[in-house]
């Protein structure tokens, strides 16, 4: 799995900022899962491990863990592409409550 959930970096003064224009890393502190209205839920009983959901996720927030697809809800924006493209239709989009 990739390194995730980097901390947000706050420069307290101009002196603390790097002199060169360079990136300090990912903005994985930005938990885009908060954007979601509907949440994909995979029924692994019916999953055939075809990899199509992983291939088409634009975040990408579907990981492969022990050869199974696992959605990282901290980042999934709920676009629904995985559910639409899954050939066995084993991903359901359910309303997000809260």
Partner 1 sequence: MSPEAKKEKKFALTLPAEELMACGHLACQGCGATLAMRYMLKALGQKTVLCIPACCWAVIDGPYPYSSLDVPIYHCAFETAASTATGVKAGLEATGDTETTVVAWAGDGGTFDIGIQALSGAAERNDDIIYVCYDNEAYMNTGIQRSSATPYGAWTTTTPVKHFKNRPKKDIVAILAAHRIPYIATASVSHPEDFVKKMKKAKDIRGTRFFHVYAPCPTGWKSRPEDTIKLARMAVQNGYFPLYEIEDGEKTTVNLKLKERKPVEDFLRLQGRFRHLKPAEVAAVQAEVDARWERLMRSCAG
Give the position of tokens 């559910």. 83
How far is 13 from 29, CA to CA, in rounded Å?
21
Tokens representing 32 are 């885009």
Residues in 4-63 at the binding interface with ligand SF4, rule: CB under 6 A: 40, 42, 47-53, 57, 59, 61-62
How far is 30 from 4, CA to CA, in rounded Å?
11
- Closest to ligand SF4 by CB, 9 or 96: 96
Which parts of this chain interact with partner 1 (CB under 8 A)? 2, 4, 9, 11, 17-18, 21-32, 35, 48-51, 54-56, 58-61, 64, 67-69, 72, 74-75, 77-81, 83-85, 93
């Amino acid at each position: 799995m990739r390194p995730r959930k980097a901390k947000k970096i706050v420069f307290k003064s101009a002196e603390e900022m790097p002199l060169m224009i360079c990136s300090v890393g990912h903005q994985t502190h930005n938990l885009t899962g908060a954007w979601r209205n509907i949440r994909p839920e995979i029924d692994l009983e019916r999953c055939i491990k075809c990899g199509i959901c992983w291939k088409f996720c634009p975040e990408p927030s579907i990981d492969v863990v022990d050869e199974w697809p696992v959605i990282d809800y901290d980042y999934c924006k709920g676009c629904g592409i995985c559910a639409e493209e899954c050939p066995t239709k084993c991903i359901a989009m359910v309303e997000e409550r809260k």
